[in-house]
Structure 1
Amino acid sequence: MAESYVNPVYPHTMADPFVLKHDGQYYAYGTAPVGADGRAFPVLRSADLVHWEPLGHALVPPGGSDFWAPEVAARDGVFYMYYSAHGIDGNDHQLRVASSEHPAGPFLDTGAVLVPDQPFSIDAHPFRDTDGQWYLYYCVDFLELEDDHRVGTGIVVDRLVDMCTLAGEPRVVVRPHEDWHLFLKGRAMYGAVYDWHTVEGPAVQCHDGRYYCFYSGGAWERANYGVSYVVADHPLGPFRRPAQGGRALLMSTRPGRLIGPGHNSFAPSPDGSETWIVYHAWQPDMAGRRMCIDRLDWQGDRPSTAGPTWTEQPVPSGTAR
């Protein structure tokens, strides 16, 4: 096996990549066009995070026409896929849950709509705390001007009563608040026109007893897209911004190399000694968002990474050579 890799690690469209490790294997799910079999979300398998084998598509759609950002949680032998679908019963994107007995699927929709009171909800991220309690981080739209918050898409968190039901008590994690969070100026939304800002793609890591909610901000198809984070002492918050904010603190565009890195998940190395950030980025031809990986490091209470990288990098620790 090779001792190095080069991003991207998969040559086809694999946006919003989420990686689940199960029984020593990695399974990756992502946003991409519906497959020839009519299923949504490509699913890949790997033993090392570097070499990926396509297994087809994971979700049997319950209807609708557009499917985004799948993430999968395992509990009691069942795999639950959280995703958003557009066009079911005439609705915009709504968060739904599908289940399977195998991580590769097929996943069948349970009929559960997680936040039916919201006109738009995307980017669900299930997180299990050390005490076994599950939480769901997800994105909704905010139209109110409050403090230094901007109008646009932001992240909230709620407790999962069971794997298909939320407590219905969402708390704000982070709303857009920086110039680099701009999605589009003069965007027509909800019967008005706004300078729309976006933070999305939550992914939580616990470090030294604190909860870091990483998010992607900006416009997913532009160079301002990048990854930053907020921090809390409990999964429900309150979350606070790092003092050195004002820019994408973890990853941002490398002009001419990798553009708009973001919407990440995290996965352990094969031997469990490292944490790796899995994300998508555009190459200069802008032909599609490709899956990339880089190691996550910590400098005290500050996360860091060399990514997005485009040159040879050491493979994850524990990879067979």
Structure 2
Amino acid sequence: MSQSTPIESTTLAYTNPVYPSYFADPFVWEYQGVYYAIGTGEAEAEGEVDEAGEQRVFPLLRSHNLVDWQSAGRAMLRPDASLGNNFWAPEVAYWDGTFYLYYSVGHEDKNHQLRVATSDRPLGPYKDIGKPLLEAEPYPFAIDPHPFQDDDGQWYLFYACDFLDTEGDARAGTALMVDRLESMTKLAGEAKVVLRAHQDWQRFLENRPMYGGTYDWHTLEGASVRRHEGRYYCFYSGGRWETENYGVDYGVADQVMGPYSDAGNEAGPRVLRTVAHRVLGPGHNSIVLAPDRQTEYIVYHAWDTNRTARRLCLDKLVWTPEGPCCNGPTWTPQMISMGNRNS
């Protein structure tokens, strides 16, 4: 647990990381005055989930101030073991009395499918509904589902999947899609491309053997969407998650289904990027309001300097006339406003 120090009655100090254990791909949401975080645990990432009993997957955390986090067990009853041992990047949406946990499961870096589980409580247990959100063809690898509700109440699902073509100077690799949710457990089948990779910093690996060929493989993943002043901002992580080139950038659109543009990122990710010898590979973010109900924070994972674990971090999100930016990644004490809530 992080050390939090009262600065004054409405402010706390924190230092990243705010949770000491492995906690990748963090998604944070608030429900009835309590913050919850769900993410990819070390076992889920490495494919070391066993098959004994009613095994649960995906670590859960709970907090009353966004700074001090306590373990709250694991979220989801493990589905059919034949689906795979790697469980990645869960996110939770609450709608009409039910919590929906979107996630991907598969075998290492192949045959990953999007699925959803439900619960009537934020801490679960969540139970898989028994079918994938996307068919294996033409999506043998689909990851990082992100549910987004627009102002009119309509839900959408952003996710990442693989492309092999290089049309319009796009790079082969994993990129972002969006589809309308016909219900919370069924896609409408109206999928559109959100963003493709075009920059060298988004490279995952040169000469990567994939799908029977060899590719200069690029990756965009971990979508997180925010509507701000009438426009849609799709934050995403690009590059290779294990290295210092991984970071957070964004695309912007006038309509939720696009078209999106991330022009202006030629020099690298504009929201979060590595700070040499301090913070490595910050990425896979979500966005949440601070306890003051006004200040937005970007929640993300980052490696320690020895690259032994990805851990939970948070920093203030700032909106400028040029677009969103962040005062992080930080590694020194920061202040967060508590508003009128108890700290």
Q: Same fold (TM over 0.5)?
A: yes
Deviation at residue 301 of structure 1 after TM alignment: 4.5
Partner of 1:28: 37
Query: Is 1:263 aligned to residue 263 of structure 2?
Result: no
Superimposed CA distance per residue, residues 1-33 of structure 1 (whole angstroms, 9 cap, x where no aligned partner): 622100000001100000011001111000011
Q: TM-score if structure 1 supplies the norm length?
A: 0.96
Counterpart contact for 1:16–1:264, Cα < 8 Å: yes
Partner of 1:194: 215
Query: Is 1:50 aligned to residue 67 of structure 2?
Result: yes
Identity of matched residues, %: 51
Query: Is 1:306 aligned to residue 323 of structure 2?
Result: no
Deviation at residue 269 of structure 1 after TM alignment: 0.8
Query: Is 1:96 aligned to residue 115 of structure 2?
Result: yes
Q: Which secondary structure does the structure 2 equivalent of 1:308 belong to? A: coil
Partner of 2:14: 5
Counterpart contact for 2:290–2:336, Cα < 8 Å: no
Partner of 2:85: 65
Partner of 2:103: 83
Counterpart contact for 1:217–1:227, Cα < 8 Å: yes
In 2, Cα distance between the equivalents of 1:304 and 1:218?
A: 19
Task: Say how many residue pairs are matched.
Answer: 319
Deviation at residue 242 of structure 1 after TM alignment: 3.6
Q: TM-score if structure 2 supplies the norm length?
A: 0.90
Structure 1 runs of 4+ off > 4 angstroms?
A: 34-37
Q: What are structure 2's unaligned runs of at least 5 residues?
A: 6-11
In 2, Cα distance between the equivalents of 1:246 and 1:236?
A: 26
Q: Which secondary structure does the structure 2 equivalent of 1:180 belong to? A: helix
After superposition, where does 1:224-303 map in structure 2 within 5 Å? 224-243=245-264, 245-303=266-324
In 2, Cα distance between the equivalents of 1:310 and 1:208?
A: 31
Counterpart contact for 1:87–1:93, Cα < 8 Å: yes
Q: What are structure 1's unaligned runs of at least 5 residues?
A: none
- CA RMSD in angstroms, aligned pairs only: 1.6
Stretch moving more, 192-201 or 108-117: 108-117
Partner of 1:111: 130
Counterpart contact for 2:251–2:262, Cα < 8 Å: yes
Deviation at residue 39 of structure 1 after TM alignment: 1.2
Q: Which secondary structure does the structure 1 equivalent of 2:88 belong to? A: strand
Stretch moving more, 113-122 or 131-140: 113-122
Paired AA for residue 239 in structure 2: G
